[in-house]
Amino acid sequence: MREAIELSLDNIDHGGGPFGAVIVKDGRIIARGANRVTASNDPTAHAEVNAIREAARVLGTFDLSGCEIYTSCEPCPMCLGAIYWAHLDKVYYGNTKADAKAIGFDDSFIYDELALPMDERHLKAIPLMHDEAIKAFEKWENKSDKIEY
C-alpha cells in the first residue's frame, strides 16, 4: 500500500491524477499503475486498469487469480468491474470514495445509475438490431476451440 500511495503522490508531479495502484503475486509487486487519464487522453487510464494491463502483460495471461491489488483509493465502478473480470483475489484501498468526492473525483453518479433500471438511467441504452447481433453469439456458441473466460 505504501508503494501505491507513493505512486499516487508522484503521479501528481508527472501530469496525472492522485491515484496509484500495484498488483502483488506471491508477496512480490509484479505491476504498477498510475492515473494517466488527462496525460494520455484516455478516460479508461485509471491506476487500477493500468496496473491490471501491466500485470496481464507481465504474466502473459488474462486471468490474474492469485494476485491482489493495492490501490491508493477505493476503486470506481469501472475499475471494480475490471478487477472482477481479471479475477483478482482481493482489493486493499487507502482513500475512500468519499475522500475522492471531496476533492472533485465523484463517481457516486455511476453507482446511483447502476442501481436504477435501464430505462430510468440518464445514459440511454437502446436495443437495436438484435436479430443480426445475436449471430456472433451463435457463432461463438458453436465454436469448438474457443478460449473461455
Catalytic residues: 48
Binding to Zn ion by residue 76, rule CB under 5 A?
yes
Which cell numbers in the block locate residue 54? 501491466
Binding to Zn ion by residue 34, rule CB under 5 A?
no
**With respect to Zn ion, which residue has the nearer C-beta, 25 or 75?**
75
Binding to Zn ion by residue 79, rule CB under 5 A?
yes
Q: How many CB atoms neighbour CB 130 within 10 A?
A: 7
**Residue 25 main-chain phi, psi, to 5 deg:** -130, 130
Given candidates 11, 46, 51, 86, which one binds Zn ion under the rule CB under 5 A?
A: 46
User: Within 13 A of 80's CA, how many CA atoms are on the CB side?
Assistant: 11
**With respect to Zn ion, which residue has the nearer C-beta, 40 or 139?**
40
Closest approach, Cβ 29 to Zn ion, in A, equals: 19
Binding to Zn ion by residue 51, rule CB under 5 A?
no
Nearest CA-CA partner of 11 in 44, 47, 43, 41: 47
